[in-house]
Amino acid sequence: MRAEVSTLFGLNVYTDKGVYVGKVNDVILDPNESRISGLAVGKINPELFDLTQKGVILPYRWVIASGDIIIIKQMIRKLRSEDREAEKEYN
């Protein structure tokens, strides 16, 4: 998928199930490969992440489509569910 880096800034990020993830604050570039390697996302949906930080870096390989918004694979919810299970086992 090709995209101009400047067109990604400020876009809202949603999962392929329509769940709001956050807003793109920055783009992580891999200069050796001449490609985008990740998206720095802020204004994170607290329902998806238990964070004390202001944002997360999402791997660009999760991006399915970009245009007026960015759509990523629904992997975040799966990761969060696993985190909750791990917390239950720990406590």
**Domain ranges for the chain:** 5-90
The answer on pLDDT for 3 being more than 70 is: no
- Stronger pLDDT, 73 or 54, i.e. the higher one: 73
Q: What is the pTM of this model?
A: 0.74
Section 45-51 average pLDDT: 78
Q: Are the CB atoms for 55 and 25 separated by under 8 Å?
A: yes
Strands 70-72 and 12-15: parallel
- Please provide the average confidence, as pLDDT, over all residues in the chain: 80
35-71 as b/e: b if 16+ CB within 10 A = ebebbbbeebeeebbeeeeebbebebebbeebeeebb
Q: Are the CB atoms for 62 and 79 separated by under 8 Å?
A: no
Amino acid at 17: K
Which one is the CATH code of 5-90: 2.30.42.10, 2.30.30.240, 1.10.150.20, 3.20.20.140?
Answer: 2.30.30.240
Residue spans of alpha helices (H) in 1-91: 75-90
